[in-house]
Homo-oligomer: A and B are copies of this chain.
Amino acid sequence: MNRLEKLKDAIKKANINGYLTTNVKSIYYLTGFMDISEATLFLITPVNGDAILLVQPLSYDAANEKAEGCTVKNIGFRGKILNKIVNEIRRSQMKSVVFDSLSTSMYLKLVQEMKEVEFKQDQDILMSLRRQKDEREIAFLIEAAKLADFGAEAGMEAIKPRIHEYEVAAEIEYAMRRRGSEGVAFETVVASGPRSAYPHGVCSDRIINEGELVVLDLGATYLGYRSDITRTAVVGKPTIRQKKIFDVVLKAQEEAFKSIHAKVRASDVDGVARKIITNEGFSDFFIHSLGHGVGLDIHEAPTLSPKSKEILLEGDVVTDEPGIYIPGFGGVRIEDTVLIHKNHGEKLTKTPYSF
Interface residues of A (CB under 8 A from B): 36-38, 58, 99, 101-105, 107, 121, 164, 166-167, 169-171, 173-174, 177-178, 180-184, 187-188, 199-200, 202-203, 205, 287-288, 299
Contacts and interface: CB of A to CB of B under 8 A. Distances in A.
Contacts of A200: 36-37, 58
Contacts of A178: 166-167, 170-171
Contact of A170 (B37, B174, B188, B202): B174
B202 A36 contact: yes
A121 B105 contact: yes
Given A173-B177, A183-B188, 13 more contacts: A36-B187, A36-B200, A36-B202, A37-B200, A101-B104, A102-B104, A104-B107, A105-B121, A166-B177, A170-B177, A171-B178, A174-B174, A182-B203
Contact of A180 (B105, B181, B187, B205): B205
A104 B123 CA distance: 12
Contact of A173 (B102, B173, B287): B173
Contacts of A188: 183
A103 B22 CA distance: 13
23 contacts: A37-B200, A38-B299, A58-B199, A58-B200, A101-B103, A101-B104, A102-B104, A103-B121, A104-B104, A104-B107, A104-B121, A105-B121, A164-B180, A166-B177, A166-B178, A166-B181, A167-B178, A170-B174, A173-B173, A173-B177, A174-B174, A182-B202, A183-B187
Nearest to A38: B299
Contacts of A171: 178
B187 A184 contact: no
A287 B107 contact: no
A241 to B, nearest CB: 23
A228 to B, nearest CB: 13
Nearest to A203: B182
Nearest to A205: B180
Contacts of A184: 183
A187 B38 CA distance: 11
Contacts of A103: 101, 121
Contacts of A121: 103-105
A177 B169 CA distance: 7
Contact of A174 (B177, B180, B203, B205): B177
Contacts of A37: 200
Contacts of A180: 164, 166, 205
A29 B309 CA distance: 39
Contacts of A102: 104
- Interface-centre pick from A99, A104, A200 (highest chain B CB count, 10 A): A104
Closest 3 CB pairs of A and B: A170-B178, A170-B177, A174-B174
